């Protein structure tokens, strides 16, 4: 049986009473992550991501940037903006980067999420999935273990299964991470966030991609968005983060099919002579202008 267990683990959220204790915790987590890599094998070679929104989005499309963060009815857009900006500041760009370039950026992005202030953990689970090699069984075992923010776990399982590629770059086995990023708009404008992924080995056999028999690793982290933090720090957050709509969040953090680099990023990397208007630039370009503000603003707002 092929065993592809976790090669990296997401950082845990702790409340520490001193900087010394915090440093000890981080040192332990770093040691634990490195040990996990040594024990459980290679890093993911490829990554596919899917971002979805569920529930109700009450965001006012005409709201100013400050009001996006200050008014709870706009907080679906607010958290989508924060997540998308964190992804782009860590170059986790599923829409534009090749899948083999995404794994390292993903783990940096996941560890950069504001889990000490804006996101309050409600569920953290790391577990293993015993797979028989049957695609239906793969979906069933995800359904049995995944706890959705709302609705049916079967919907999330389908989102994972849909990310399995139709072909592999090589004829040999490849280690993949399948990522699902979810924002949910609930009653009374309460927003929840979930980031989950599965580390799984994929094989190419007789012209088709298959999931061989193995023990795969799955991680799920669910969070409640702290409304008071967004409201209280609205002015600072509006200066720190560009704002986007929920649909843009879904688009930017999802891997396209078929895989192809985005034209705008591709032109930029190739040194295109085209002059882009400021308002038409994606977040990564507009944020580049204020990236020197990040350390100070993050310190002040506690992100």
CA–CA distance, 266 with 33 (Å, rounded to integer): 34
Task: Write out the E strands in 145-282.
Answer: 174-185, 191-205, 208-210, 214-225
pLDDT given for residue 207 in this prediction: 78
**With 70 as the cut, is the pLDDT of residue 209 above it?**
yes
pLDDT given for residue 199 in this prediction: 96
Q: How confident is the model at residue 140 (pLDDT cuts 50, 70, 90)?
A: very high
CA–CA distance, 26 with 287 (Å, rounded to integer): 28
Distance of CA 81 to the CA centre of its chain: 13
Joined together, the tokens standing for residue 87 give 């992804």
**With 60 as the cut, is the pLDDT of residue 281 above it?**
no
How many Cα neighbours within 13 Å face the side chain of 25? 12
How many Cα neighbours within 13 Å face the side chain of 81? 22
The full length of the chain comes to 303
| 145-157 pLDDT, tens digit each | 999 988 789 999 9
Share of the chain above pLDDT 70, in %: 70
pLDDT given for residue 43 in this prediction: 61
Q: How confident is the model at residue 63 (pLDDT cuts 50, 70, 90)?
A: very high
Distance of CA 93 to the CA centre of its chain: 10
The single-letter DSSP state of residue 15 is -
- The answer to which of 23-32, 61-70, 246-255, 280-289 has the lowest mean pLDDT is 280-289
Instruction: Answer with the residue of higher pLDDT: 239 or 7.
Output: 239
3-state helix, strand, coil in the chain (%, to 5): 45, 20, 35
Judge whether 240 and 293 are in contact, CB under 8 Å.
yes
| β-pairing verdict for 208-210 and 174-185 | unpaired
Cα end-to-end distance, the chain, whole Å: 43
Neighbour-count burial for 148-164, b at 16+ CB within 10 Å, e otherwise:
bbeeeeeebbebbeebb
CA–CA distance, 171 with 157 (Å, rounded to integer): 26
Mean pLDDT score, 46-58 = 95
Q: Among 48, 250, 45, which residue's Cα sits nearest to residue 162? A: 48
**With 50 as the cut, is the pLDDT of residue 14 above it?**
no
Instruction: Answer with the residue of higher pLDDT: 95 or 268.
Output: 95
Share of the chain above pLDDT 90, in %: 60
């Amino acid at each position: 049986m092929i065993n592809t267990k976790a090669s990296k683990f997401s950082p845990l959220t702790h409340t520490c009473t001193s900087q010394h204790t915090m440093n000890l915790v981080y040192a332990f987590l770093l040691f634990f992550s490195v040990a996990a890599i040594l024990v459980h094998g290679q890093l993911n070679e490829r990554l596919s991501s899917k971002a979805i929104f569920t529930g109700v989005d009450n965001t006012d499309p005409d709201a100013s940037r400050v009001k996006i963060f200050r008014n709870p009815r706009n907080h679906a857009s607010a958290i989508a903006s924060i997540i998308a900006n964190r992804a782009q500041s860590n170059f986790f760009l599923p829409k534009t980067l090749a899948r083999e370039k995404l794994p390292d950026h993903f783990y940096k992005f996941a560890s950069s999420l504001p889990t000490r202030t804006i996101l309050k953990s409600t569920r953290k689970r790391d577990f293993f999935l015993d797979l028989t090699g049957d695609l239906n069984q793969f979906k069933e075992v995800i359904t049995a273990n995944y706890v959705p923010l709302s609705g049916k776990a079967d919907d999330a399982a389908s989102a994972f299964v849909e990310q399995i590629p139709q072909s592999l770059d090589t004829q040999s086995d490849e280690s993949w991470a399948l990522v699902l990023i979810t924002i949910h708009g609930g009653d009374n404008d309460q927003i929840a966030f979930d980031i989950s992924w599965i580390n799984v080995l994929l094989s190419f056999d007789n012209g088709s991609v298959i999931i061989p028999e193995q023990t795969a690793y799955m991680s799920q982290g669910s969070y409640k968005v702290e409304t008071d933090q967004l409201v209280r720090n609205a002015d600072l957050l509006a200066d720190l983060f560009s704002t986007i709509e929920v649909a843009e969040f879904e688009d930017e953090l999802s891997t396209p099919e078929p895989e192809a680099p985005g034209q705008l990023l591709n032109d930029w990397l190739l040194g295109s002579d085209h002059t882009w208007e400021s308002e038409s630039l994606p977040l990564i370009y507009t944020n580049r202008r204020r990236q020197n503000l990040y350390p100070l603003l993050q310190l002040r707002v506690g992100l």
